[in-house]
Structure 1
Amino acid sequence: MKKAPLPENEAERLKVLHSYNILDTLPELSFDDITRLASQISGTPIALISLVDSERQWFKSKFGLSATETPRNISFCAHAILEKDVLVVPDTLEDARFFDNPLVTGEEKIRFYAGSPLVTAKGAALGTLCVIDQTPRSLNELQVESLRALARQVMNQLELRMYIEEQEQLKSDLVAYQKILEEANSRLETASLSDDVSGFHNTRFLHSFLERFLEPAQHEERELSLVFFDMDNFKNVVDTHGHLVGTEVLREIAQAVYQQLGPEDRIVRYGGDEYVIILPGQGKDVAHIKAKQMCLGIRNTIFMQGKGLNLKLTASFGLATYPDDASDMHHLLAEADKCLFTSKENGKNRLTVK
């Protein structure tokens, strides 16, 4: 038995073969149709689509044969992939390469073989479309040309299969990338609506929230209250203890107020030491009670205890309600701010209601 030498491009050939992800896959009708047709055209009982791997030949499709693979070193197809055209062996017993091959002398009793190489556009021979018989025979020119044509169709199917697989992978990648992008955008959106100092919302969030809330509210008659508050004499804290302490105090104040809010309420740092509390769906009476509790809560809290400063602070509050006090977002903000200013003017540490 003469073992087939390796192709000169064997390493690249195997790399290309494996890139098709075809080895050890399930049977597919598109390939089985080709082997059935090859058997009918050639008049042979066996037809195979054989892919030559490093140590074996594996059958993607088989007609008239139960085996799924054989060792490469006894493979007829390992010889056929070295050819430029169809390899035809009319009688294996009269061919020096095959007369003592186990597939010839064993129970398979192969006496006739014809294999057309499966060649990629770049010249890599992946395997063959072959037809086999247990009696010597020959193929006429029409049958040989048909075998060539069917081999090209096998390659077309392999290319189509790879294309579909690549498109599915691309689609999967795009879905994954889209998810990553959405998560990144969500984080960016959250960051763009957050205040670095307090850790709560910023004015961009305030305006966005009010625009979304007040538009349908005109039809649904929903109420919304805004509570503005500003720390009294906060400049003294910064001048005495520095900006870092001032920033930490602002965080502690926001946390203290946040503890008194409901799940739908929102706290916004409006700028400097001024905050806005959004109370959606809450009229003036409920908002009035909440604002008074916030004012008392700040007054009764000792801040910066962890730093040993034990600061006692107060804040001035202003309250306005939609739609009682204003017909749109801008007027509502202005009215609540005016009430805050009134509290400052009247001695601080108090709440003014529109």
Structure 2
Amino acid sequence: MIHPPLPTNEDERLSALRRYQILDTPAEEAYDDLVTIASGICGTPMALVSLIDVERQWFKARAGLDAAQTPREVSFCGHVVARGRTMVVPDAMQDPRFHDNPLVTGDPSIRFYAGAPLVDSGGHAIGTLCVIDTVPRDLEPFQQRALESLSRQVMALMELRAAHRELQHHLSEREWYERQLDQHQQQLQARNAELTLESLTDALTGLPNRRAFAARMEQALAHAHAGGAPMALAIIDIDHFKQINDLHGHPAGDDTLVKVARALAAQFTAPSVVARFGGEEFAVVLPGVTAEAAQVQCDHAREAVEWFPDGLPVTVSIGLTAVQSGDTVSALYTRADRGLYEAKRTGRNRVVAA
């Protein structure tokens, strides 16, 4: 095991950390939300906001891990702080720095690690936002970018908290103090609103993600049942997507996902909602649209993808279903999936209604 080296500016770095007065403070929902978002975007069971003290790493927020701190000498995050830039360890058992680390050989059995540094305005890396898994893996480029963006949001939150505390300590004139405090609170609320939007948006395509789509489906189905209005659901899958990744690489795969997302978004306009459902799969809810009209729209969308002018040639298969009396969201998904399976089985690049 290789212990994390000390940064050359260690004394200044520790002073910068102390300025935030954050060590050993209680958990806060705003930080917990950030690790939840990081874990969700990167698809890992564990995520942490880790601050590197003299001899320990202490966790301001944690998801999937019980420990509140661990020794600095065995920390992965200590290496990130020393480097001052993002570090990704696909398989800790194959890395000479970590293969015999007690956090690898024992609980929590780390195999994959990715950490983005928390860097203050003076350039001091005081900790990390990191994600952890118990199996070897890697990050997609968009996931690493998202992790780095969220690390900057953690730092912005700490800066706002510090500014809030300094205002409370130093300002004596109540009217001016309240005006400044309100301004900082608005900034914090705006940042939290941005983070909430990010948690409902697929980072690669910009479409709503599965979580956002589930909420829209519930609303649309309740409205359809209450008013007897028609509604349809389509599940869309890119044909032979694995071959695109295998033959052309993951960047080409990412470009294909973005291309399909753009084509679908152009075809299914409001009040319909298009979402990236996961992997190479998309979903569309079509409120107020009959089965026949949904079939026509889906055929147009399929053709739009096939004849999209940019990128690699690609087609999609679509499973479609319309709402029936007493339907649940689960029943709609099941029927649309059945249609998608039949579209794949019968040759792909087609729409099958179930």
Structure-1-length-normalised TM-score: 0.48
Name which one, 1 or 2, has greater alpha-carbon Rg. Answer: 1
